[in-house]
């Protein structure tokens, strides 16, 4: 084997070299880019949950309020009792759990707000909004009678820190503003109050008690951080505990609502990528075969001057592998450019209706049901290496077969005919 000979042969046939590199490069780029696109979609689908450090959100669908007056539960929520929460906490695979109470409050003058009761000491769920404080401070563990407001809501209602808010007769001092633009979508509310205050509010709310068996230690949304390997099984077990009305949201739920594009990429991305690689290898086969046909005389000379068949096979296969290596580099470059351009596109992850913070019947409600973010695609090193491995395997095999066939040419016939 001689690298100088390999290099000279490749340089000599520049157009063929370029065609081979492009052929492999496009196949590799297609394979890597589709996987990057698919992974970016998958990661985007996880954002609404991952931003609040949760893998599973569980709630129970309940009855419609009899009247939209005072504090009510959206009919996508109903009480989850303390014993049910404890049973879920004890399931294998549950790492941590957070609980909240989500409520709507309608005042007689026609005002509306969405409130969320939370425990600020919890690390799963809306307690993580403490990192999204834009002014003032967040709730502190053990505090009562205070609230923080969403920045947009505060701007809309011209709220100031230190101001007092009244929710169904209970007053709260406003201590800060939080930005819930992304994280808040699945735990979004206009104001956030201590869990104990929310439990107290709901315990006396006529339109809650009229349709729900609410107890002072209950919650109506729980957030579960789970061992990823056990998450699918956990989802089913939680449903088992909460009953047929359970609504369990997982990253897979978001995958489903991302629609047909994602489903196609998710299901057929690997297949299309592999097909691209196969087409690339076929292209390489054609150019390599044509190249070897033109070089029959050289192969005849190799054999005539004393190269063994295996020497010829090694030399020609090395040329093919070298081409694949160059093609892979070109593919990596193309894939880098492609995934970089993905960053200029955005994706809207629809929020399932049951997690929507704003009642659908209110103006603007449906518009808020989605998280829009840039499609952050990147090249996965494992996928890039897999593409190299596949290209080397398929291309190398093709190169080896062609090289073996060429090396078996009868040198006398070739040298006579040239």
Assess 308 for contact with another protein (CB under 8 A): yes
Residue 58 is classified by DSSP as: E
- Residue 23 near residue 327 (C-beta atoms within 8 A): yes
Coil vs helix vs strand at 412: helix
Binding another protein by CB under 8 A: which of 155, 209, 304, 385?
304
Distance CA 116, CA 184 (A): 11
Q: Specify burial of residue 37 (Cβ count, 10 A radius: 0-12, 13-18, 19+).
A: buried
Give whichever of 57 and 302 is closer to another protein, judged by the CB atom.
Answer: 302
86 binds another protein (CB under 8 A): no
Applying CB under 8 A, does 290 fall inside the site for another protein? no
Judged by CB under 8 A, the stretch of 237-245, 252-260, 394-402, 408-416 that binds another protein is 408-416
275 by DSSP, 3-state: which? helix
Cα(400)–Cα(351) distance, integer angstroms? 53
Count of beta carbons in the 10 Å neighbourhood of residue 55 = 25
Residue 68 interacts with another protein (CB under 8 A): yes or no: no
Burial 324-355 (b: 16+ CB within 10 A, else e): bbbbbebbbebbbebbeebeeeebebebbebb
**361 is an interface residue for another protein by CB under 8 A:** no
The correct pick among 109, 244, 260, 305 for binding another protein (CB under 8 A) is 305
* Two structure tokens written together for 289: 């075969």
Helices 82-89 and 231-242 cross at an angle (nearest 10°) of 160
Looking only at the bridges linking them, the beta strands covering 370-374 and 346-350 are: antiparallel
Stretch of 102-110, 217-225, 266-274, 409-417 contacting another protein, by CB under 8 A = 409-417
DSSP H or E run through 84 = helix 82-89
For position 1 contacting another protein by CB under 8 A, the verdict is yes
Interface with another protein by CB under 8 A: which range of 100-108, 170-178, 282-290, 298-306? Answer: 298-306
User: Does 319 participate in binding another protein (rule CB under 8 A)?
Assistant: no
| Residues β-bridged to residue 105 | 71, 113
Contact flag: residue 416 with another protein (CB under 8 A): yes
Helix (H) or strand (E) holding 283: helix 260-294
Using CB under 8 A as the binding rule, whether residue 8 contacts another protein is answered as: yes
Q: Per rule CB under 8 A, is residue 307 in the interface with another protein?
A: yes
Q: Per CB under 8 A, does 293 bind another protein? A: no
> Does residue 18 belong to the site contacting another protein (CB under 8 A)?
no
Nearer residue to another protein within complex by CB, 6 or 198: 6
Residue 42 vs 297, nearer CB to another protein? 297
Which segment (3-11, 59-67, 72-80, 110-118) binds another protein by CB under 8 A?
3-11
Query: N- to C-terminal Cα distance for the chain?
Result: 24
Q: Minimal distance in Å, beta carbon 8 to another protein?
A: 4
Q: Which two tokens stand for residue 237?
A: 């077990």
Q: By CB under 8 A, name the one of 60, 128, 212, 303 that touches another protein.
A: 303
Our finding on whether 415 is near another protein (CB under 8 A) is yes
Cβ proximity of 256 and 121 under 8 Å: no
CB of 313 to another protein, least distance (A): 11
- State how far the Cα of 313 lies from the Cα of 324, in Å rounded to an integer: 16
- Shortest distance in whole angstroms from residue 327 CB to another protein: 21
Smaller CB separation from another protein, 2 or 372: 2
Contact 151, 182 (CB under 8 A): no
Using rule CB under 8 A, residue 98 touches another protein: no
215 vs 308 by CB, closer to another protein = 308
Among 43, 297, 400, 401, binds another protein (CB under 8 A): 297
Task: Candidates 298, 330, 331, 339: give the one binding another protein (CB under 8 A).
Answer: 298
- Among 4, 109, 244, 361, indicate the residue that binds another protein (CB under 8 A): 4
* Strand partners for 248: 58
The Cα–Cα gap between 156 and 418 comes to 86
280 close to 23: Cβ distance less than 8 angstroms: yes
- Give residue 105's Cα distance to chain centre: 34
Which of the stretches 88-96, 234-242, 343-351, 405-413 binds another protein when contact is defined by CB under 8 A? 405-413
Q: Kindly write out the interface string for residues 151-190 of this chain, putting x where it contacts another protein by CB under 8 A and - elsewhere.
A: ----------------------------------------
Please report, as ranges, the residues that interact with another protein according to CB under 8 A.
1-2, 4-5, 8-9, 11-12, 297-298, 300-311, 315, 410-412, 415-416, 418
């Amino acid at each position: 084997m001689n690298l100088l000979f390999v290099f000279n042969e490749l340089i000599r046939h520049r157009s063929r070299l370029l065609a081979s590199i492009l052929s492999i490069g496009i196949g590799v780029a297609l394979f890597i880019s589709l996987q990057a696109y698919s992974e970016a979609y998958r990661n985007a689908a996880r954002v609404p949950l991952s931003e609040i450090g949760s893998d599973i959100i569980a709630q129970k669908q309940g009855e419609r309020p009899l009247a939209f007056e005072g504090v009510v539960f959206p009919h996508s929520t109903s009480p989850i009792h303390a014993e049910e929460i404890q049973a879920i906490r004890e399931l294998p695979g549950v790492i941590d759990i957070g609980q909240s109470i989500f409520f709507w409050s309608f005042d007689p003058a026609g005002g509306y707000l969405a409130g969320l009761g939370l425990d600020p000491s919890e690390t799963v769920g809306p307690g993580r909004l403490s990192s999204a404080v834009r002014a003032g401070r967040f709730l502190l563990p053990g505090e009562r009678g205070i609230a923080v407001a969403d920045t947009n809501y505060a701007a809309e209602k011209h709220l100031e820190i230190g101001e007092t808010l009244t929710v169904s007769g209970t007053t709260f001092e406003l201590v800060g503003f939080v930005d819930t633009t992304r994280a808040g979508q699945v735990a979004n509310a206009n104001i956030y109050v201590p869990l104990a205050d929310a439990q107290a509010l709901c315990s006396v709310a006529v339109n809650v008690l009229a349709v729900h068996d609410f107890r002072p230690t209950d919650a109506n949304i729980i957030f579960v951080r789970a061992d990823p390997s056990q998450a699918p099984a956990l989802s089913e077990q939680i449903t088992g505990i909460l009953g047929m009305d359970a609504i369990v949201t997982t990253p897979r739920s978001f995958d489903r609502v991302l629609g047909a594009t994602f489903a196609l990429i998710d299901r057929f991305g690997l297949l299309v990528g592999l097909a691209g690689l196969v087409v690339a290898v076929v292209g390489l086969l054609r150019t390599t075969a044509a190249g070897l046909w033109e070089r029959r005389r050289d192969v005849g000379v190799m054999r005539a001057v004393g190269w063994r068949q295996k020497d010829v096979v090694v030399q020609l296969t090395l040329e093919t592998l070298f081409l694949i290596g160059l093609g892979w580099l070109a593919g990596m470059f193309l894939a880098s450019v492609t995934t970089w351009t993905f960053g200029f596109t955005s994706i809207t992850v629809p929020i399932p209706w049951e997690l929507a913070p704003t009642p659908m019947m209110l103006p603007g409600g449906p518009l808020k049901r989605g998280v829009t973010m840039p499609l952050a695609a990147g090249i996965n090193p494992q996928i890039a290496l897999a593409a190299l491995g596949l290209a080397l395997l398929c291309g190398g095999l093709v190169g080896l077969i062609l090289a073996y066939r060429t090396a078996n040419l009868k040198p006398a016939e070739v040298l006579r005919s040239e």
